[in-house]
Amino acid sequence: MSSMITLALSKGRIFDETLPLLAAAGIQVLEDPEKSRKLILSTNQPNVRVVLVRATDVPTYVEYGGADIGVTGKDTLIEHGGQGLYQPLDLQIAKCRVSVAVRSDFDYAQAVKKGSRLQVATKYTSIARDFFATKGVHVDMVKLYGSMELAPLIGLADAIVDLVSTGNTLRANHLIEVERIMDISSHLVVNQAALKLKQAPLRRIIDAFASAVPPEKN
């Protein structure tokens, strides 16, 4: 068993907001993912490397040991199921929320009266199913992989369940947020076998991340 530590990250906000946490652990990524097509990035620590994967694949890489440790949104973690993953830390980064949104001319209150059916387009089918089941709303789910905001505009669905951060995407498409389902932030996930076999180097990273996480704001 090599003592190489492999960290799975996705490009964009999660990568950018993880860099200061890595710095707190004395780890500097030596390449910029926006400037290169490389998928394995070296760091200033010869035994630490970063692999770039799709956000939805981070839990899978860590579950199967393709990476020892990873950073992933709570949304992605819930959809994955979290099996086989140790989740030691809410990193309080890449914060947003999962919400229900509809066209501004759609009568959502009427549509969710008990007994009615709602067409919902989302990539977050687990989160959406649980949420509407709790409300007693029957849902016809349309699974999408992106550009959810388009679905109500085109008549593919009545509502979407998607991430909202600034709300700019909803506004640009004349959609309104009608329910907040949950707050989201990114979490550290660790492969359970790796945590035993590479305990010292992984603990060092987890502890450094923990001390660099800002105290929770209300």
Binding interface with ligand PRP (CB under 6 A) = 146, 162-169
To the nearest whole angstrom, how small is the minimum distance from the Cβ of residue 110 to ligand PRP?
Answer: 26
Q: How far is the CB of 99 from ligand PRP (least distance, A)?
A: 9
Smallest separation, CB 151 to ligand PRP (Å): 12
Polymer length in residues for the chain: 218
- Write down the residue that tokens 């004349």 correspond to: 174
- 200 by Cβ neighbours in 10 Å (0-12 / 13-18 / 19+) ranks as exposed
Query: How far apart are alpha carbons 69 and 75 in whole angstroms?
Result: 17
Question: Based on CB atoms, which residue is closest to ligand PRP, 43 or 60?
Answer: 60
**Shortest CB 131 distance to ligand PRP, Å:** 17
Q: Is 210 exposed, middle or buried (0-12, 13-18, 19+ CB in 10 A)?
A: middle
Q: Letter for the amino acid at 99?
A: S
Q: Which of 3/166 has CB closer to ligand PRP?
A: 166
Quickly count: other Cβ atoms within 10 Å of residue 110's Cβ.
Answer: 8
Nearer to ligand PRP, 73 or 201 (CB): 73
For 133, other C-beta atoms within 10 Å of its C-beta total 11
Q: Which is nearer to ligand PRP, 163 or 212 (CB)?
A: 163
